[in-house]
Amino acid sequence: MEVGTYQMKIIINQKSLLAALNKMNAFLRSSEMLTLSAKSTSLYLFGKSISTNVSSEIKLTTKTEETGLEIKEKSTIQVNFGAFIKAIRESERGMLEIKTSNTEDLRLVISSSEFEIDIFAKNTEYHPGFVQGKKVGKFESESLANLFKEVTYSISKLQSRPLFNHVHFKLKDNQLLIEATDARCMARYVAETSQQTEFDLLIPEIVSKNINKFFGKEGVITFELHDTEICFKSKGMSIEWELYDKEYPDTQRLIPDRQEMTSYEINAKSFKTALRRMIKLSDGGDDNTTIRLEFSENTVQLITDNFGFSLFNYHQELPLLSEGKKITLGVNPNYILNAINHLPKGSEVVKLVVLSEIRPFIVESEISSNTLHLATPIRMN
């Protein structure tokens, strides 16, 4: 039969369908299209986002009791994602009947026990399941989400540098490397692993920040490589995006030699409080705020700069918990605070490990960690 001659009719639990749509909402914009494909025992939801360049698919099956899924008539249609998820949200809890109308202008009718909503739809073709590729890795979902969380704060927000809008995810010689940088700050996680398969991937920001939202905290995610795509798969769920054809730069060269550096130790609670206060007083935004850190042997002075503070002058002195030489750093307080917020839980001391006024410095604590946090000083007038 030709496309357009089939009709769809399913019964499904509103809560289960809405949970699946909320997962799709991590990658699909409201203006984009959602494909619903009712097969013999499964309902597939598929969306390919033009804005994020990510495809996602969720499979709901009649074999899972909580879905309450019944396939009455099989067909494949497309609807506006924003309209469909809004209609399902406004539908009452319980079982819904979802079917296409037999009118000349195809509509999708969503019926509950008290009312019905219909939206525009169109027939289409869809072959469920992304093409199977070479398996190159496997991680527990919650573990992978936590690893990405270590570094995603350093992803660049500038669309003019698309390479840095990704997390670099690499496994080689049993060493796992996860890193992100916007050239002004960097977070770099390195750890030994028992996994043997090697890979070198670039993970888009929208994927790295939504692992738990899409896959949940339980289960295992398998990575597959095709000729031109990367696919993350878990039970009944998949996301896929195009391989990026450029290599991530070597960030090892940015890391200074610790033997030549000086460590300045500051009480973490006091330092965070002062940085938060200065950020609130700033009118320069996240990227356009500069303060001076003036280190002496026993204290550090936090002083506002003209850049980002047109309405306020601010000065605070904090004691150092270690002795160091005199040096003045120009820094963005947002970068330092972000790094401090990602230090190990229970950290009571912030260590700024400094080489010079112009070289990247390390932000760490008294608790050892597999994640290295770097920030680049800002040149002062």
Say if strands 166-172 and 199-204 run parallel, antiparallel, or are unpaired: antiparallel
Mean pLDDT of the chain: 92
Residue 3 has a pLDDT of: 46
Structural domains for the chain: 9-123 (3.10.150.10), 134-252 (3.10.150.10), 255-375 (3.10.150.10)
- Non-local (6+) Cβ contacts of 311 within 8 A are 281, 283
SS3 93: coil
Q: What is the pLDDT of residues 266-319, one digit of tens each?
A: 999 999 999 999 999 888 777 788 899 999 989 999 998 777 777 878 899 999
Largest Cα span, the chain: 83
d(CA 251, CA 64): 47
For the chain, the straight-line distance linking the first and the last C-alpha, in angstroms and rounded, comes to 73
pTM reported for the whole predicted model: 0.89
The pLDDT value recorded for residue 6 is 63
Q: Are 71 and 61 in contact (CB under 8 A)?
A: no
Give the distance, in angstroms, between the CA of residue 299 and the centroid of all CA atoms in the same chain.
38
Q: Which residues of the chain have pLDDT under 70?
A: 1-6, 103, 381
CB-CB neighbours of 341 under 10 Å: 10
Could you read off the pLDDT of 112-142 as tens digits, one per residue?
Answer: 888 899 999 999 999 888 888 999 999 999 9
In this predicted model, what pLDDT tens digit does every residue of 73-93 receive, in sequence order? 999 999 999 999 999 999 988
Q: How far is residue 41's CA from residue 72's CA, in Å, rounded to a whole number?
A: 10
Q: Do 121 and 77 touch, CB atoms closer than 8 A?
A: yes
